[in-house]
């Protein structure tokens, strides 16, 4: 039996696995150190009351024969897909419930979607960016080209001068916090239509765009229905990192080589997936209720407030940074360090703050560092105090 040889070309371990190991090793040596986690983009606010209530109700449904639910539709229950379609409608975008696939989370779908694409497609990936885009394609052996994000383009690379088949866009971007405006996205749609490329649009952080006039779904851009799949998540907007629920939208008319991507993905999911847990889907439904929306908006406000405090601190210290406005991430220059992994260790050892080295998001990320605003207000305040103490000294 032969193993998939492409796995040899992967880094030793997935970025966040590596960070967890480094942190665990440090904690073991310093058991009393109170570490302040601003690394992995995990949320800290609990599920909102409307969602908790929905889980209780679902438990009772599952506990009684008359209301018990066994296998559900692979694509997700209509009650949830209809709620998501209404969420799109509120953004002025018409998406049919039939075009929505409920998922166990954006990460799962971003990886699994590759099953329906040929192995020799050329993939364009922003650099820096969420590392799973690269790793999942390396596993299949697809050639990867990078779209460089730099301070000059505000970490928002535009269409390249080469041909790409699959294009990843993440807006608001992880890790830089930068978000495309309509004009910039329209240029990408124009490129994709001209090149018969497919845009894989990761909108996991779209909830942070509320109140801005930046596009929060690529389907707000004319023509996108003919060249884009959108992958969304409840992880950050509704604190679902531990609940596991997202959704992927594939327009019915999206076709390549005469094949409907909607049908291909439906066939893939019917064969390798059995739908998302009923209890989780009921919880997700509650997120989209008027009550749930109001409550989650309030929870998001906590992270926005954290981001403001972090931005103020960095500004005060004269450290260059991006993001932090319509995004839970701040992307900063490593102050006084060339290597972002060295800075990671420095910050861990001297301020007990865990961040994410920019290099982990691609070679263009070297020299930069990501801080997350998903902590509690208390830990964020503590972290910024330590941060100020550390960098004011220098």
Tell me the three state secondary structure of residue 304: helix
User: By CB under 8 A, is residue 7 in contact with a copy of itself?
Assistant: yes
How far is 258 from 84, CA to CA, in rounded Å? 28
Contact present, 276 and 245 (Cβ < 8 Å): yes
* Residue in 26, 256, 337, 346 binding a copy of itself, rule: CB under 8 A: 256
Q: Which is nearer to a copy of itself, 51 or 83 (CB)?
A: 51
Site for a copy of itself in 313-372 (CB under 8 A): none
Question: In terms of Cα–Cα distance, which of 26, 37, 32, 24 is closest to 379?
Answer: 37
Quick check: 63 binds a copy of itself (CB under 8 A)?
yes
Exactly one of 99, 165, 230, 285 binds a copy of itself (CB under 8 A); which one? 165
Contact 296, 238 (CB under 8 A): yes
Q: For 12, phi and psi rounded to 5 degrees? A: -50, -45
Interface with a copy of itself (CB under 8 A), residue from 24, 32, 65, 290? 65
CA distance 102 to 80: 8
Applying CB under 8 A, which part among 23-31, 203-211, 257-265, 323-331 lies near a copy of itself?
A: 257-265
Quick one: 62 or 98, whose CB is closer to a copy of itself? 62
279 lies in the site for a copy of itself, by CB under 8 A: yes
Q: How many positions of this chain bind a copy of itself (CB under 8 A)?
A: 85
- Position among 136, 173, 184, 327 found at the interface with a copy of itself (CB under 8 A): 136
Bridge partners of 324?
A: none
381 binds a copy of itself (CB under 8 A): no
CB of 334 to a copy of itself, least distance (A): 25
- With b meaning 16 or more CB within 10 Å and e meaning fewer, what string describes 314-333? beebebebbbbbbbbbbbbb
Looking at residue 276, what DSSP letter applies? Answer: -
Q: Which of 275, 323, 357, 362 binds a copy of itself (CB under 8 A)?
A: 275
- For residue 334, which of 345, 324, 349, 323 has the smallest C-alpha distance? 345
Does 102 bind a copy of itself (CB under 8 A)? Our answer is no
64 or 393: CB nearest a copy of itself: 64
Give whichever of 259 and 320 is closer to a copy of itself, judged by the CB atom.
259
> Per CB under 8 A, does 144 bind a copy of itself?
no
Q: Which is nearer to a copy of itself, 48 or 178 (CB)?
A: 48
Please pick, from the candidates 23, 69, 148, 366, the single residue that binds a copy of itself as defined by CB under 8 A.
69
Query: CB-wise, 154 or 291, nearer to a copy of itself?
Result: 291
Q: What would the DSSP string read from start to end of 308-354?
A: HHHHHHHHHHT--EEE-SSSSEEEEE-TT-S-HHHHHHHHHHHH-EE
- Known binding-site residue numbers for substrate: 14, 41, 107, 130, 174, 274, 370
The answer to whether 380 touches 387, Cβ cutoff 8 Å, is: no
Chain residues 206-245 in contact with a copy of itself, contact rule CB under 8 A: 239, 241-245
**Contact predicate 114/137, CB 8 Å:** yes
Task: Give ∠ CA 39-207-123 in degrees, rounded to 5.
Answer: 70
Among 238, 391, 380, which Cα is nearest to 307's?
Answer: 380
Cα torsion through 241, 372, 32, 390, rounded to 10: 180
- Choice from 27, 148, 220, 277 touching a copy of itself (CB under 8 A): 277
Residue of the chain from 30, 33, 49, 349 that contacts a copy of itself (CB under 8 A): 49
Give the C-alpha separation, 50 to 288, whole Å: 10
C-alpha 366/C-alpha 379 separation (Å) is: 26
Q: Of the ranges 154-162, 215-223, 260-268, 329-337, which one interacts with a copy of itself (CB under 8 A)?
A: 260-268
Site for a copy of itself contains 52 (CB under 8 A):
yes
191 sits near a copy of itself (criterion: CB under 8 A): no
Residue 117 in the binding site for a copy of itself (CB under 8 A): yes
- Is residue 1 a contact point for a copy of itself (CB under 8 A)? yes
Query: Judged by CB under 8 A, does residue 62 bind a copy of itself?
Result: yes
Residue 273 touching a copy of itself (CB under 8 A): yes
Residues annotated within the binding site for pyridoxal 5'-phosphate are 71, 106-107, 130, 174, 205, 233-235, 244, 274
Nearest one of 225, 222, 241 to 233, comparing CA atoms: 241
Least Å distance between CB 118 and a copy of itself?
4
């Amino acid at each position: 039996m032969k193993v998939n040889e492409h796995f040899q070309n992967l880094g030793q371990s997935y970025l966040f696995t590596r960070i967890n190991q480094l942190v665990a090793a440090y904690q073991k040596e310093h058991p009393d150190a109170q570490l302040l986690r601003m690394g992995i983009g995990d949320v800290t606010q609990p599920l909102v009351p409307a969602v908790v209530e929905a889980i209780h109700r679902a438990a009772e449904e599952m506990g009684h024969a008359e209301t018990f639910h066994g296998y559900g539709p692979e694509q997700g229950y209509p009650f949830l897909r209809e709620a998501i379609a209404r969420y799109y409608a509120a953004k002025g975008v018409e998406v049919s419930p039939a075009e929505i696939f409920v998922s166990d989370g954006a990460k799962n779908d971003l990886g699994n979607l590759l099953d329906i694409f040929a192995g020799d497609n050329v993939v364009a990936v922003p650099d820096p960016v969420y590392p799973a885009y690269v790793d999942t394609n390396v596993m299949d052996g697809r050639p990867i080209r990078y779209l460089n994000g730099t301070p000059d383009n505000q970490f928002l690379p535009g269409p390249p001068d080469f041909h790409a088949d699959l294009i990843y866009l993440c807006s608001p971007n992880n890790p830089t916090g930068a978000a495309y405006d309509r004009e910039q996205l329209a240029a990408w749609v124009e490129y994709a239509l001209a090149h018969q490329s497919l845009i894989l649009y990761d909108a996991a952080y779209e909830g942070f765009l509320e109140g801005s006039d930046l596009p929060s779904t690529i389907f707000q851009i004319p023509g996108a229905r003919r060249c884009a799949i959108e992958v969304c998540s409840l992880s950050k907007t509704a604190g679902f990192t531990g609940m596991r629920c997202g959704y992927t939208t594939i327009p019915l008319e999206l076709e390549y080589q005469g094949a409907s991507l909607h049908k291909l993905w439906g066939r893939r999911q019917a064969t390798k997936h059995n739908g998302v847990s009923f209890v989780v889907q009921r919880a997700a439904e509650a997120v989209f209720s008027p009550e749930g929306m109001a409550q989650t908006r309030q929870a998001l406000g906590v992270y926005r407030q954290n981001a403001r405090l972090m931005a103020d601190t960095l500004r005060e210290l004269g450290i260059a940074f991006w993001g932090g406005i319509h995004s839970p991430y701040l992307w900063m220059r490593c102050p006084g360090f060339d290597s972002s992994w060295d800075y990671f260790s420095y910050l861990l050892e001297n301020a007990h703050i865990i961040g994410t080295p920019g290099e982990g998001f691609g070679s263009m990320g070297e020299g930069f560092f990501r801080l997350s605003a998903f902590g509690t207000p208390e830990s964020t305040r503590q972290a910024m105090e330590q941060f100020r103490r550390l960098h004011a000294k220098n």
